[in-house]
Amino acid sequence: MNKRVAYVFPGQGSQSIRMLDAWSGEPTVRNTVAEASDALGLDLWKLIECGSAETLNSTDNTQPALVAVSVALFRAWQERVPMSPVAAAGHSVGEYSALVASGAMTLADAIRVVRFRGQAMAKAVPPGSGGMAAVLGLGDEAVEQLCIDCAGDDLLQPANYNAPGQVVVAGHLAAIERIKSKAKEAGAKMVFVLPVSGPFHSALMQSAADSLGARLQSLSVEQPAFDVLQNSDMRVAHQWFIKEALVAQLTRPVRWVETIRRFEQVGITHLVEIGPGEVLTNLTKRIAPAIQCMPINSPVLLESAVEAVEKSQPIAA
């Protein structure tokens, strides 16, 4: 059977201080981060390699840093494997990385937009009033019902369908506290509050979505060179509705299980996680164990992935 390869790009939570350590001698990576830094007027290499975790984890810094690193690693990968994937997707802000990789938008535009996106998300809800929690060990329908039961006069809804038995919810903190106890009573293995600054991918992000929509009006978008699955509606991105989908993404859940299932349906055999960390690789192993997952967050892992993709069978594009 021919190999069929998809690319995935991670979102918030995959970042870490010094995540570029192993790439300091790679000109393509350094030049790409420098390009992103120039577009933003912020030294992203210094932020990542010399800054504090608190500064990097601030949403308005995390998002451009992740896109810069992911695009840098994509370019390093492309130098070794100059191919188009069957499909690609990004988790939340990772969708911007996927769109840059596909040629739908420039790195400079994406970096500036995600910085604005992060700022708008931080402003959407007063500090300390909203958050997110991961519910482990319950099915999607059970978590959806718990959100209804625990919302009360507040808002609480699924935000990320990450893997079977792993759903992240977002909403007001009072409702988050209620679901922590109710979910355990319903049989959840664990419920833990995520270290994020707001209730992302929920209706509480509507003001951020409105601001982002206005900001995107002036953005130039091209038709992607390969299929990019959108988080918000599972449609293949098209030049004419990419902006609409990016706005909708802020208030709708990330449907990651469906994304990987779609890859299965089109016969994906190999998945390359392009960016820091291995979060999406680990999620994919739980969703679709038959797909060979390969993170490339270091030069050693990149070389291993190149060998796995290139050896033996030809690649089906």
Quick one: residue 291, left, alpha or beta (phi over 0 = left, psi -120 to 50 = alpha)?
beta
Q: Read off the tokens for 119.
A: 């700022």
Strands (E), the chain: 3-9, 87-90, 130-136, 156-163, 166-172, 190-193, 227-229, 254-255, 270-273, 292-295, 315-316
Element (H, E) at 31: helix 27-40
Catalytic residue status for 218:
no
Cβ atoms 275, 10 nearer than 8 A: yes
Contacts of residue 185, Cβ cutoff 8 Å, sequence gap at least 6: none
Q: Which of 201, 202, 211, 270 is catalytic?
A: 201
Q: Which of 58, 92, 97, 211 is catalytic?
A: 92
Catalytic residue status for 201:
yes
User: Taking the CB of residue 27, how many other CB atoms lie within 10 A of it?
Assistant: 9
Catalytic site positions? 92, 201
